[in-house]
Structure 1
Amino acid sequence: MGFVVVQHLSPAHVSSLTEILARETTMPVCEVSDEPRVEPNHVYIIPPGRDMTIAKGSLALLPQERAGLRRGIDQFFQSLAEDRQHKAIGVVLSGGANDGTQGIEEIKAAGGMTFAQDESALHGSMPQSAVASGCVDFVLSPEDIAAEIARIARHPYVAPADRDDAPTGSERARIVQIVQRATGMDFTHYKANTMQRRISRRMMMHKLETIREYVDYLRRQPAEVQALYQDLLIGVTSFFRNPDAFEVLARTVFTRLLKNRKSDDPVRIWVLGCSTGEEAYSLAIAFTECAEAARSHVPLQIFATDTNAKSIDKARTGFYPRSIAADVSPARLARFFVEEERGYRISRIIRERCIFSRHNALTDPPFSRLDLVSCRNMLIYLEPVLQQRIMPMLHYALNPEGGLWLGSSETVGSYRTLFELEDVRQKIFVRLPGPPAARFSTQVPDRLPNKAHAPPTMPPREPEQVTLQRRVERLLLAKYAPPAVVITEGMEIIQFCGDTGDYLSPAAGTPTQSLLKMLREGLQVGVRAAIQRAILEKGTVRETGLRVRGSEGYREIAVEVMPLQAGTADQAAFVVMFDDGARPLRHEPPPPPPPTGSEAEEIIRLTHELASTREYLQSVIEQQEAANEELQSANEEAQSTNEEAQSTNEEMQSINEELETTKEEIQSSNEELSTINEELTARTQEMQVARDYAESIVASVRVPLLVLNGELRVKSASRAFYELFQVTPELTIGRCLYDLGNGQWNILELRRLLESILPGQTLLKDFAVSHTFDVIGLRHMLVSSCRLVQARGHEPLILLSVEDVTERREVEDALAARMDDLDKADRSKDEFLAMLAHELRNPLAPLRNAFEILQLADLSSKEHDNAQRMIGRQIDNMSRMIEDLLDVSRITEGKIELRRQPVSLESILTGATSIVRSACARHSQNLSVLMPKVPVYLDADATRLEQVFSNLLGNACKYSGDGSNITLSAERAEGVDPPEVVITVRDDGIGIAPDLLPRIFDLFVQSSRTLDRTHGGLGIGLTLVKRLIALHDGNVEAHSQGLGYGSEFIVHLPILREAPPPPPALKVRAPREPPRRILIVDDNTDSAQSLSTLQRRRGHDTCTAFTGPDALTAAIAFTPKVVLLDIGLPGMDGFEVARRLRAMPALEGVLLLAMSGYGSPEDRRQAKEAGFDDYLVRPVDLEQLSRLLREAPGGNNNE
Structure 2
Amino acid sequence: MSAESTRIVGLGASAGGLAPLEAFLAGIPPESNMAYVVVQHLDPNHKALLTELLQRVTHMPVREATQGMSIKPNCVYVIPPNTELSVVDGSLHLARPVEPRGLRLPINVLFSSLASALGERAIGVVLSGMGSDGTLGLQAIKSVGGLTAVQQPDTAQYDAMPQSAIAADCVDILAPPGDLPARILSCLAQEPDQNTPDVHSVEPDARSTPLQRILRLLQERTRHDFSLYKPSTLHRRIERRMGIHEIATLSHYADFLEHNPQEIDLLFKEVLIGVTRFFRDTAVWQHLAETTLAELLARDSGASHLRAWVVGCSTGEEAYSLAMIFTEVLEKLPQPHGFTLQIFASDLSPDAIATARRGYYPAEISSSVSAERLARFFSPRNKGYQINSDIRELVLFAQQDVVLDPPFTRLDLISCRNLLIYFDPSLQRKLIPLFHYSLRDGGVLLLGSSETIGRYTQLFSPIESKLRLYRRQNKVQSDTARLPVKSFPPLSWISKELPVPPSYSPPTTTDNLQTAADQVLLQVYAPAAVVVNDEGDIVYISGRTGKYLEPAAGKANWNFHAMVREGLRTPIGSALRQIGNQSEPLQLQTLQVQLPGGGTQSIDVTVQALREPAALRGMKMIVFRDIAPPQADPKNKNQSKTTTQQIHTAELQQCQDEIQALREENRASREELQSANEELQSTNEELQSTNEELTTSKEEMQSMNEELQTINSEMQTKLDDLALAQSDMRNLLNSIDIAILFLDQSLNLRRFTDRASKIISIREGDIGRPLSDLTTTLQYPELNDDARNTLNTLAFSEKQIATTDNRWFTVRIMPYCRLDNVIDGVVITLLDITETKKLERSLREDLQQE
Q: Given the two structures, how large is their TM-score scaled by the length of structure 1?
A: 0.37
Residue 176 of structure 1 aligns with an amino acid whose one-letter code is L
Aligned equivalent of 1:359, options 400, 404, 413: 400
Q: CA deviation at 1:1159?
A: 10
Q: CA deviation at 1:279?
A: 1.0
Aligned equivalent of 2:178, options 136, 147, 155: 147
Answer yes or no: is the 8 Å Cα contact 2:119–2:450 preserved in 1.
no
Aligned equivalent of 2:306, options 267, 270, 291: 267
Q: CA deviation at 1:114?
A: 1.4
1:255 aligned partner:
294
Q: Could you say which structure has the greater relative contact order, defined with CA pairs below 8 angstroms and 6 or more residues apart?
A: 2
Pair 1:288-2:327 in alignment: yes
SS state at 1:361 partner: coil
Paired residues for 1:1154-1173 under 5 Å? none
Q: CA deviation at 1:123?
A: 5.8
Q: CA deviation at 1:377?
A: 3.2
1:31 aligned partner:
64
Paired residues for 1:15-54 under 5 Å? 15-21=48-54, 28-37=61-70, 42-54=75-87
1:325 aligned partner:
366
1:374 aligned partner:
415
Pair 1:215-2:254 in alignment: yes
Q: CA deviation at 1:90?
A: 1.0
Structure 2 distance, partners of 1:196, 1:701, is: 41
Structure 2 distance, partners of 1:257, 1:188, is: 37
1:440 aligned partner:
484
Structure 2 distance, partners of 1:93, 1:84, is: 25
Unpaired runs of 5+ residues, structure 2, are 1-27, 29-34, 499-549, 563-676, 701-735, 739-754, 761-774, 805-809, 831-850
Residue 407 of structure 2 aligns with an amino acid whose one-letter code is P
Q: CA deviation at 1:659?
A: 13
Pair 1:450-2:494 in alignment: yes
1:692 aligned partner:
689
2:39 aligned partner:
6
1:129 aligned partner:
164
Q: Deviations over 1:784-820 (max 9, x none)?
A: xxxxxxxxxxxxxxxxxxxxxxxxxxxxxxxxxxxxx
Answer yes or no: is the 8 Å Cα contact 1:1142–1:1171 preserved in 2.
no
Q: CA deviation at 1:188?
A: 2.8
Q: Deviations over 1:612-638 (max 9, x none)?
A: xxxxxxxxxxxxxxxxxxxxxxxxxxx
Answer yes or no: is the 8 Å Cα contact 2:310–2:416 preserved in 1.
yes
Answer yes or no: is the 8 Å Cα contact 1:18–1:30 preserved in 2.
yes
1:397 aligned partner:
438
Structure 1 distance, partners of 2:191, 2:441, is: 50
Residue 414 of structure 2 aligns with an amino acid whose one-letter code is V
Aligned equivalent of 1:302, options 309, 322, 343: 343
Structure 1 distance, partners of 2:693, 2:71, is: 53
Residue 693 of structure 1 aligns with an amino acid whose one-letter code is T
SS state at 2:150 partner: strand
SS state at 1:374 partner: strand
Aligned length: 533
1:1098 aligned partner:
none
2:547 aligned partner:
none
Q: CA deviation at 1:244?
A: 2.2
Q: Deviations over 1:910-959 (max 9, x none)?
A: xxxxxxxxxxxxxxxxxxxxxxxxxxxxxxxxxxxxxxxxxxxxxxxxxx
Answer yes or no: is the 8 Å Cα contact 1:400–1:432 preserved in 2.
yes
Pair 1:345-2:386 in alignment: yes
SS state at 1:61 partner: strand
Structure 2 distance, partners of 1:303, 1:338, is: 23
Distance 1:277 1:63, change over 3 A: same
2:534 aligned partner:
none
Structure 2 distance, partners of 1:161, 1:430, is: 32
Q: Deviations over 1:1074-1108 (max 9, x none)?
A: xxxxxxxx999xxxxxxxxxxxxxxxxxxxxx999
Q: CA deviation at 1:288?
A: 0.6
Answer yes or no: is the 8 Å Cα contact 1:370–1:402 preserved in 2.
yes
Q: CA deviation at 1:343?
A: 4.0
Structure 1 distance, partners of 2:408, 2:259, is: 39
SS state at 1:693 partner: helix
Distance 1:435 1:273, change over 3 A: farther
Distance 1:74 1:321, change over 3 A: farther
Q: Percent identity between the aligned chains?
A: 35
Aligned equivalent of 1:238, options 249, 262, 277: 277
Q: Given the two structures, how large is their TM-score scaled by the length of structure 2?
A: 0.51
Aligned equivalent of 1:181, options 204, 207, 220: 220
Answer yes or no: is the 8 Å Cα contact 1:380–1:409 preserved in 2.
yes
Residue 688 of structure 2 aligns with an amino acid whose one-letter code is R
Aligned equivalent of 1:157, options 188, 192, 206: 188
SS state at 1:246 partner: helix
1:114 aligned partner:
149
Answer yes or no: is the 8 Å Cα contact 1:57–1:83 preserved in 2.
no
Distance 1:1110 1:431, change over 3 A: closer
1:99 aligned partner:
133
Residue 282 of structure 2 aligns with an amino acid whose one-letter code is P
Unpaired runs of 5+ residues, structure 1, are 455-651, 664-679, 704-1081, 1085-1105, 1128-1133, 1145-1150, 1173-1199
2:229 aligned partner:
190
2:118 aligned partner:
83
Structure 1 distance, partners of 2:428, 2:757, is: 93
Answer yes or no: is the 8 Å Cα contact 1:53–1:61 preserved in 2.
yes
Q: Deviations over 1:156-211 (max 9, x none)?
A: 7359999xx99977324323212212332102333456556766787788887765
SS state at 1:104 partner: helix
Q: CA deviation at 1:360?
A: 1.0
Residue 356 of structure 1 aligns with an amino acid whose one-letter code is F
Q: Deviations over 1:379-418 (max 9, x none)?
A: 3444565445544543443334333323345445565565
Distance 1:265 1:153, change over 3 A: closer
Paired residues for 1:787-798 under 5 Å? none
Q: Deviations over 1:416-438 (max 9, x none)?
A: 56545444343221352689733
Structure 2 distance, partners of 1:124, 1:259, is: 53
Distance 1:448 1:13, change over 3 A: farther
Q: CA deviation at 1:65?
A: 2.5
Distance 1:380 1:442, change over 3 A: farther
Q: CA deviation at 1:373?
A: 1.7
Pair 1:428-2:452 in alignment: no
SS state at 1:310 partner: helix
1:1038 aligned partner:
none
What is the Cα-based RMSD across aligned positions, in Å? 5.8
Distance 1:366 1:17, change over 3 A: same
Aligned equivalent of 2:317, options 275, 278, 294: 278
Q: Deviations over 1:413-468 (max 9, x none)?
A: 565565454443432213526897334326658999634699xxxxxxxxxxxxxx
Aligned equivalent of 2:93, options 41, 60, 71: 60
Q: CA deviation at 1:38?
A: 5.2
Residue 47 of structure 1 aligns with an amino acid whose one-letter code is P
Q: Deviations over 1:340-363 (max 9, x none)?
A: 555433333222222222111222
Distance 1:168 1:88, change over 3 A: farther
Distance 1:322 1:1141, change over 3 A: farther
Structure 1 distance, partners of 2:371, 2:98, is: 16
Q: Deviations over 1:284-332 (max 9, x none)?
A: 1110100001144533321110001222222223233444333322322
Distance 1:681 1:428, change over 3 A: farther
Residue 691 of structure 1 aligns with an amino acid whose one-letter code is Q
Instruction: Determine which structure has more spread, i.e. the larger CA radius of gyration.
Output: 1
Distance 1:278 1:1114, change over 3 A: closer
Answer yes or no: is the 8 Å Cα contact 1:264–1:299 preserved in 2.
no
SS state at 1:238 partner: coil
Answer yes or no: is the 8 Å Cα contact 1:369–1:399 preserved in 2.
yes
Structure 2 distance, partners of 1:1160, 1:439, is: 91
Structure 2 distance, partners of 1:1164, 1:394, is: 83
Q: Which region of structure 1 is more displaced relative to structure 2, 415-424 or 242-251?
A: 415-424
SS state at 2:443 partner: strand
Residue 358 of structure 1 aligns with an amino acid whose one-letter code is Q
Structure 2 distance, partners of 1:394, 1:300, is: 19
